[in-house]
Amino acid sequence: MTMKIKLIMNKLKNTVLLFVAIFGCISCSSTEDIEDSNSIEGISFENFPKIDGSTSANCLNKIIACKLLNIPYKWLPPLVDEWMIQPDYEKIPEQHKNFFMERIQTSQTHGAFMNLIDGVADIILTHRTISPDEKAHADKLGVTLIETPVALDAFVFVVNKDNPIKSLTVEQVHKIYTGEITNWAQVGGNNTNMKIFTRPRNSGSEEVMRELVMKGLEIADFPESSIGFMIFVFMEVIDNPDGICYTFNNYKEWIARKSDVVVPKIAINGIFPDETTVKNRTYPFISEVHVAIRSDLDRNSMAYKLYKWLQTEAANAAYTESGFIPKSAATSVAKISADKFQVYPNLVGAYLQPLKNDKVVKIKM
């Protein structure tokens, strides 16, 4: 009899997982109807919104504009360090040759947020939400933002190619950046002092590091370790055999294009950051790409229509082509609070019942 109950409960467990997989998507979708089209009706060079964003979203923003305005484009090898999106300017009308200079900006994360708050930009895409400093500025002006996650990326740690370390635990990362671990031998590596790099406050990766990774733990002061531009992360790690720093995977793989042979990514808790571990959310440090607008944005404006379009399946190609994982492509199983359901086992079977009116009201992903 005990064995039969065990089989029933195992079957119920599988039912719960299936239930979540089917119904979990309901809560992820907006209740508003969103047009899922490869373009936006009425969008043109003249009324295209002013877009700004982080360094890692630069190519994404250009791809979005090219797709919506039907402009051919290609990836262009770097003149110096970064790959970029090159629109076919021959397909742009003469009077709009300065379109990308005027409408598509890359002011870096902090600059993009300040431009959005100040009304210089209509819409921004970044790897994070508003920082405390930016929110203080917004509060002073009476401005609030709407920030919506649309894509996923791995927040990764990189080391020198000669470093034998292939994986760190979350706890080890915490101790490295709080200053408790200072030598690579303490985590199984060479007996050499670590060269620990950081990014400036209010930069996209620094604020994500503090919120997503450190979760309130204070980062130690590492003199002369702050790296101003994202591309310099790789230069510093290449030049310092004992160096370690962090970046976003899309930037590393698509914009800097530094292979793991040249600048290795390391696993966290034994899980390597790649497309699969981001999609199934098993990699510990997954950053969400957000689209943000001012809450007072006119709902009839083209900027608001673009904001809504960026949440549709039609926008997924732009995310994928710039190295992100569309949020709708994530395949993780949602967590459900135990008090939301009742389980009724008996000797012949079992069933699962939501507690409120026999209907799923909301499942938080």
| Residue 15 pLDDT greater than 90, yes or no | no
pLDDT above 80 (res 22): no
pLDDT at 332: 54
Predicted confidence band of residue 199 (pLDDT cuts 50, 70, 90): very high
CA distances from residue 234 to 122, 161, 252, 286, 298 in whole angstroms, order as listed: 32, 11, 9, 20, 42
How much is the mean pLDDT over the chain?
Answer: 85
Burial letters 56-84, b for 16+ CB under 10 A, else e: bbbbbbbbbbbbbbebebeeeeeeeebee
Average pLDDT over residues 5-15: 44
DSSP string, 164-216: ---EE-HHHHHHHHHTS--BGGGGTS-SSB-EE-B--TTSHHHHHIIIIIITT
Which pLDDT score, from 0 to 100, does residue 335 have?
43
Could you give phi then psi for residue 339, rounded to 5 degrees?
Answer: -80, 0
Contact of 326 with 312, CB cutoff 8 Å: no
> Residue 354 pLDDT > 70, yes or no?
no
The pLDDT of residue 143: 98
pLDDT (mean) for 3-13: 44
pLDDT > 70 in the chain, percent: 81
Residue with tokens 């979708």: 29
Q: pLDDT confidence of 107, banded at 50, 70, 90? A: very high
Percent of the chain with pLDDT over 90: 73
Cα 96 to Cα 154: distance, rounded to the nearest angstrom: 36
DSSP state of 253: I
Q: Per-residue pLDDT tens for 208-235?
A: 999 999 998 999 988 767 888 889 999 9
Token duo for residue 13: 């467990």
Helix (H, G, I), strand (E, B) or coil at 240: coil
Q: For residue 263, count other CB atoms closer than 10 A to its CB.
A: 21
Q: What is the CA radius of gyration of the chain?
A: 23
Phi-psi map region of 272: left, alpha, beta (phi>0 left; psi -120 to 50 alpha): beta
Summarised one tens digit per residue, pLDDT across range 290-338 is: 999 999 999 999 999 999 999 999 999 999 999 999 998 877 544 444 4
> What is the Cα–Cα distance from 3 to 156, expressed in whole angstroms?
45
Q: Residues 67, 69, 70, CA angle at the centre, nearest 5°? A: 60
* The predicted structure's pLDDT at residue 200: 87
Indicate if the pLDDT at residue 352 is higher than 90.
Answer: no
**pLDDT score, position 33:** 47
Torsion of CA 158, 240, 163, 155, to 10 degrees: -10
Between the CA of residue 92 and those of 26, 98, 115, what are the distances in Å?
Answer: 41, 9, 26
83 vs 76: CA distance, rounded Å: 6
Query: Does residue 8 carry a pLDDT above 90?
Result: no
The Cα–Cα gap between 262 and 158 comes to 10
- Tell me the residue type at 63: I
**Model pTM?**
0.80
Beta bridge partners of residue 196, listed in sequence order:
244
Q: Which residues touch 80 (CB under 8 Å, ≥6 apart)?
A: none
Q: Which of 41, 103, 101 is nearest to 308 (CA)?
A: 41
Measured distance CA(328)–CA(343) in Å, rounded = 30
